[in-house]
Chains A and B, each alone.
Chain A
Amino acid sequence: MLTDLTIAQAQAGLKAKTFSAVELTQAHLTGVDALNPRLNAFITVSHAKARDQAKAADEAIARGDIRPLTGIPLAIKDLFCTEGIRTTAASRILESFIPPYESTVTANLLNDGAVFLGKTNLDEFAMGSSNMTSAFGPVENPWKRRQDQNAVLVPGGSSGGSAAAVAARIAMGATGTDTGGSIRQPASFCGLVGVKPSYGRCSRWGVVAFASSLDHPGPFARTVQDGAILLGSMASHDPKDSTSADRPVPDYQAACKRGVKGLRIGVPREYRVDGMPAEIEALWQQGIAWLRDAGAEIVDVSLPHTKYGLATYYIVAPAEASSNLARYDGVRFGLRKDGAELSDMYGNTRAAGFGAEVRRRILIGTYVLSAGYYDAYYLRAQKVRALILRDFNEVFANVDALLTPTTPSAAFAQGEKMDDPIQMYLNDLFTVGANLAGVPAISVPAGLDSNGLPLGLQIIGKNFDEETVFAVSAEIERAAGFTALPQIRAGM
């Protein structure tokens, strides 16, 4: 089936004219139409535009103008502004917002020939780890528990729609954003490769901001090589983003073939937490063994401030969010609910426009920045963040990459962990460190738990050394030979 192809395979097929870009896109749109009513992975499907882009791709191929993603159908997280296509951030407040501009990342993808199938669901403003906070309803994970086929599992979050779409073969790849794990955790939950590059590698321009210093755009794919292809297209230096890195984008596909011989791989002892399921511990040990067998040297390392990561994250991220979301005030765009006074209009608009989790984080963020609390919370968190960064820098003086589990559990069911926000926040335990430090990290599917659900391993690398992270990820992928398929997928 065309929908089962990897991006690399599809590129070859398109080039050889085994099938057309229109056929490839249509196969995916058919899958979307069949599965989206159930999965709710897409908020907006842009059928006509996708077909036009596919047609243009076929014309380009006929001209011999073949770019890295010509004719490849992708899904775009609905946090990336797309010119002329509604961009909601899964929030009522942007329900009818149609951006008059294209984000840098999506512009890069379009420039490389990609076809956009539509905009995928997410936790509202990317705040969540389950996709349950979307104003457009939850997303179903295409994977099912072996023993409990009725349970509807979450795809993880916040980029849950992107993960579900790629896992269900209704997109060949997708964009996501990762602020505390929002690419890697859903990738782990859905059996995908999720890439969070270095901070500054992919421009944030045109991406609806959640927490500016932590937001990282990155790709979802079904193979490490596809992840490399997508990141290669998404990454660029962007003068419109002051935090964008002015560095050449390396050849990530080549890096996937490097192997790990001679690499020093650190295993941080602080990631071995109380109550971690034995299966996850076992998978981690398996990953260590695979890398050792492939010629890597395994080193026990310490990241002593790891235990403060979550607390730090849940101060810094809401603080920035409380300010970033101030612009949704009903004055210039998006939802407006009138009121007698300006302050009433603000209150009415924001009360109607923001869901509970967004409101919670705005309140937390406002609190930690307030006079009298700033020093105790925000300033303290910034200091701890500096210590966490120092941990990584010190460790990376000795090792080339770190290997950890991606998440402390496999996908959970809708309704589970919903009563206690803290339980939900624990999902980010292993992932927030890389966001706080800005270093690159990839989650690779490495095995299944006893319920048949995918589990991921995380490889964390040095700042701007995605190449080594890709090399290690590719090795894990080879060794794991992960071939399991989700129960819900195109063509089933």
Chain B
Amino acid sequence: MAYAIEGTTGPWEVVVGLEVHAQVISQSKLFSGSSAAFGAEPNTQVSFVDAGFPGMLPVINRECVAQAVRTGLGLNAVIHKVSRFDRKNYFYADMPQGYQISQYEHPVVGTGIVEVELADGSVKQIGVTRLHLEQDAGKSLHDQHTTKTFIDLNRSGVALMEIVSEPDIRSPEEAGAYLRKLRSILRYLGTCDGNMEEGSMRADVNVSVRKAGEPYRTRCEIKNVNSIRFVMQAVEAEAARQVEVWESGGEVRQETRLFDSNRGITRPMRSKEDAHDYRYFPDPDLLPLVLEQSWIDALKASLPELPDAKQARFRSDYGLTQYDAAVLVAEKATADFFETVAKGRDPKIAANWVTGDFFAALNRAGASIETSPVSAANLGALLDLIVDKTINGRIAKDVFEAMVETGKDPAAIVEEKGLKQVTDTGAIDAAVDAIVAANPDKVAEYRSGREKLFGFFVGQTMKAMAGKGNPALINDTLKRRLA
């Protein structure tokens, strides 16, 4: 059942297109040699070019172009061998040149496709219209002084990729799935870290609504939404607002809006700010960007395996379910972690541990793969201890919890805590004998047909052995003794 907003006049379809601004991972800025790193002291990463000093000229950073091309290739997109930089003219205090250098008419990357998987298991293709390179502005800090605004130009000139989707998205879920997939691809490619909290990925959300079969109605653009959850909420809130406007006989005006995450609504930006005429024209300080096919080919050849390909391989090589494969490839770090654990081991057991206990532990600890106390090597070693019967499955859970707490390797924990599985039949026989002797009435009941009591005996024996007994041997011994 397709997503729809139920209005008083019937269902409304939601139409969404996303413009994602993704900060390019690079050593230096798009047109200058200053560092593009995040988090430095204000105004410590600013060259005279970034500060728009007289006579300073931009020089394109080859690596930023390579990152854009890699991203284009990762989006299955057309790479334009000739593209151009334009100036987008407007005044703002954190925009030193008085214009932003961007690619308006001739972007470096053209149309592409992103495939997203939805909760019902269906796959949808979202079109990418274009990807272009542009400079970021600096930052205005309005809260540092009562009457003054402080300017930090560290970000001024940092390379951004603007990735524009077709209006192919039809629900908040699809918007979220698209963003997650896009972020995953960017991270796989190493072209953007995708950290929305740090602002290195942000989205402008274009929303309109329509009745089935209608052409597009007027859209509104919600600027600068900085989390996937907020994008989904903004789509929902804005679509609902527009339905209400239309149904109450009004007309949706094309405008720029902001999402207020506290109140869960969108509201218009001051109209002053969208009255811009940007006076785009080709930047005369820069030559057209001309790419050699051989250079593009070399970048293509060096691309890493991307999520879709990896997911297919996980299913075919490891026999994983579509669901497990999808979960494991969503983040490259997770996929790498899994492959390290699975190497030379049973991949399904590895997948179960990674998606089960391991993810649960990360969630509880609020940790990520990168900060996980349990390394892939250690988790693999734990699986080995199970396979070679050093410990049983139940003890393994305890050992794992100890690994989460201490970060130690499992063999050390087993050693330290004396958790080594008991496979000595003498010890098991003795334990079973003691249990049988202590529970004559239960033994009688069992023998008279209450077979459910078998579990009781196993539990008692295991308890007597502090959980370390080999479950199979205990079973065998009990069956023999109770027969």
Chain A interface (Cβ < 8 Å from any Cβ of B): 80-81, 87, 89, 94, 97, 99-101, 103, 204-209, 211-213, 239-243, 319-320, 322-323, 325-327, 329, 331-333, 342-343, 346, 366, 369-371, 374, 378
Our pick among B55, B277, B280 for the contact of A204 (Cβ within 8 Å) is: B55
Our pick among B54, B89, B97 for the contact of A89 (Cβ within 8 Å) is: B54
Q: Which of B72-109 contact A (CB under 8 A)?
A: 87, 89, 91-93, 96-99
CA–CA, A370 to B149, complex, Å? Answer: 30
Our pick among A101, A103, A327, A342 for the contact of B96 (Cβ within 8 Å) is: A327
| Distance from A56 Cβ to chain B, minimum over Cβ atoms (Å) | 25
| Distance from A157 Cβ to chain B, minimum over Cβ atoms (Å) | 19
| B473 located at the interface, meaning its Cβ lies under 8 Å from any Cβ of chain A in the complex | no
Q: Which residue of A lies closest to B287 (CB)?
A: A242
| B365 located at the interface, meaning its Cβ lies under 8 Å from any Cβ of chain A in the complex | no
Is there contact, CB below 8 Å, between B284 and A320?
yes
| B454 located at the interface, meaning its Cβ lies under 8 Å from any Cβ of chain A in the complex | no
Q: Which residue of A lies closest to B151 (CB)?
A: A331
Closest 9 CB pairs of A and B: A326-B98, A212-B284, A369-B279, A213-B284, A327-B52, A206-B55, A208-B54, A371-B277, A81-B55
Is there contact, CB below 8 Å, between B59 and A319?
no
Is there contact, CB below 8 Å, between B281 and A326?
no
Task: For B290, list chain A residues within 8 Å (CB).
Answer: none
Is there contact, CB below 8 Å, between B99 and A323?
yes
Task: For B52, list chain A residues within 8 Å (CB).
Answer: 327, 332
Contact flag A204-B57 (CB < 8 Å), given A320-B284, A329-B91, A370-B277? yes
Our pick among B59, B91, B149 for the contact of A346 (Cβ within 8 Å) is: B91
Q: Which residue of A lies closest to B51 (CB)?
A: A332
Contact flag A209-B93 (CB < 8 Å), given A242-B60, A366-B279? no
Task: For B58, list chain A residues within 8 Å (CB).
Answer: 242
Chain B interface (Cβ < 8 Å from any Cβ of A): 48, 51-60, 87, 89, 91-93, 96-99, 149, 151, 277, 279-281, 284-287
Contact flag A323-B279 (CB < 8 Å), given A212-B284, A243-B287, A329-B91? yes
Q: List 4 extra interface pairs beyond A209-B285, A242-B59, CB under 8 A.
A: A205-B55, A206-B55, A331-B151, A333-B54
Our pick among A80, A212, A331 for the contact of B285 (Cβ within 8 Å) is: A212
Task: For B93, list chain A residues within 8 Å (CB).
Answer: 329, 331, 342
Contact flag A207-B60 (CB < 8 Å), given A323-B281, A332-B96? no
| Distance from A328 Cβ to chain B, minimum over Cβ atoms (Å) | 8
Task: For B56, list chain A residues within 8 Å (CB).
Answer: 205-206
Q: Which residue of B lies closest to A212 (CB)?
A: B284
Is there contact, CB below 8 Å, between B279 and A242?
no
Is there contact, CB below 8 Å, between A370 and B98?
no
Task: For A322, list chain B residues within 8 Å (CB).
Answer: 89, 279
Secondary structure class of chain A's binding surface, majority of residues:
loop
CA–CA, A241 to B56, complex, Å? Answer: 9
Q: Which residue of A lies closest to B91 (CB)?
A: A346
Is there contact, CB below 8 Å, between A100 and B98?
no
Is there contact, CB below 8 Å, between A209 and B55?
yes
Determine which residue in A243, A323, A325, A370 has the highest number of CB atoms from chain B within 10 A of its CB, and name it: A323
Q: Which residue of A lies closest to B48 (CB)?
A: A101
Task: For B48, list chain A residues within 8 Å (CB).
Answer: 100-101
Task: For A206, list chain B residues within 8 Å (CB).
Answer: 55-56
CA–CA, A319 to B87, complex, Å? Answer: 11
Is there contact, CB below 8 Å, between A327 and B98?
yes
Is there contact, CB below 8 Å, between A378 and B281?
yes
Task: For B149, list chain A residues within 8 Å (CB).
Answer: 342
Q: Which residue of A lies closest to B140 (CB)?
A: A342
| Distance from A452 Cβ to chain B, minimum over Cβ atoms (Å) | 39
Contact flag A205-B57 (CB < 8 Å), given A326-B89, A366-B279? yes
Task: For A87, list chain B residues within 8 Å (CB).
Answer: 54
Is there contact, CB below 8 Å, between A329 and B286?
no
Determine which residue in B54, B60, B99, B277 has the highest number of CB atoms from chain A within 10 A of its CB, and name it: B54
Q: Which residue of B lies closest to A346 (CB)?
A: B91
Task: For A320, list chain B residues within 8 Å (CB).
Answer: 284
Q: Which residue of A lies closest to B278 (CB)?
A: A371
Is there contact, CB below 8 Å, between A243 and B285?
yes
Q: Which residue of B lies closest to A81 (CB)?
A: B55
Report 6 cross-chain contacts, Cβ distance below 8 Å, ordered by A residue.
A81-B55, A205-B56, A208-B55, A209-B55, A242-B57, A326-B98
Our pick among B53, B59, B99, B286 for the contact of A240 (Cβ within 8 Å) is: B59
Is there contact, CB below 8 Å, between A97 and B54?
yes
| Distance from A246 Cβ to chain B, minimum over Cβ atoms (Å) | 12
| Distance from A359 Cβ to chain B, minimum over Cβ atoms (Å) | 15
Task: For A81, list chain B residues within 8 Å (CB).
Answer: 54-55
CA–CA, A333 to B286, complex, Å? Answer: 24
Task: For A371, list chain B residues within 8 Å (CB).
Answer: 277, 279
CA–CA, A204 to B284, complex, Å? Answer: 12
Task: For B97, list chain A residues within 8 Å (CB).
Answer: 326-327
Task: For A327, list chain B residues within 8 Å (CB).
Answer: 52-54, 96-98
Contact flag A329-B57 (CB < 8 Å), given A319-B281, A323-B87, A369-B279? no
Our pick among A240, A319, A343 for the contact of B57 (Cβ within 8 Å) is: A240
Task: For A239, list chain B residues within 8 Å (CB).
Answer: 59
Q: Which residue of B lies closest to A345 (CB)?
A: B93
CA–CA, A142 to B70, complex, Å? Answer: 61
Q: Which residue of A lies closest to B88 (CB)?
A: A323
Contact flag A99-B54 (CB < 8 Å), given A242-B60, A371-B277? yes
Determine which residue in B59, B99, B281, B286 has the highest number of CB atoms from chain A within 10 A of its CB, and name it: B281
Task: For A366, list chain B residues within 8 Å (CB).
Answer: 279
Is there contact, CB below 8 Å, between A326 and B57?
no
CA–CA, A208 to B52, complex, Å? Answer: 11
| Distance from B20 Cβ to chain A, minimum over Cβ atoms (Å) | 26
CA–CA, A381 to B12, complex, Å? Answer: 48
Is there contact, CB below 8 Å, between A242 and B286?
yes
Determine which residue in A204, A211, A327, A343 has the highest number of CB atoms from chain B within 10 A of its CB, and name it: A327
| Distance from A95 Cβ to chain B, minimum over Cβ atoms (Å) | 13
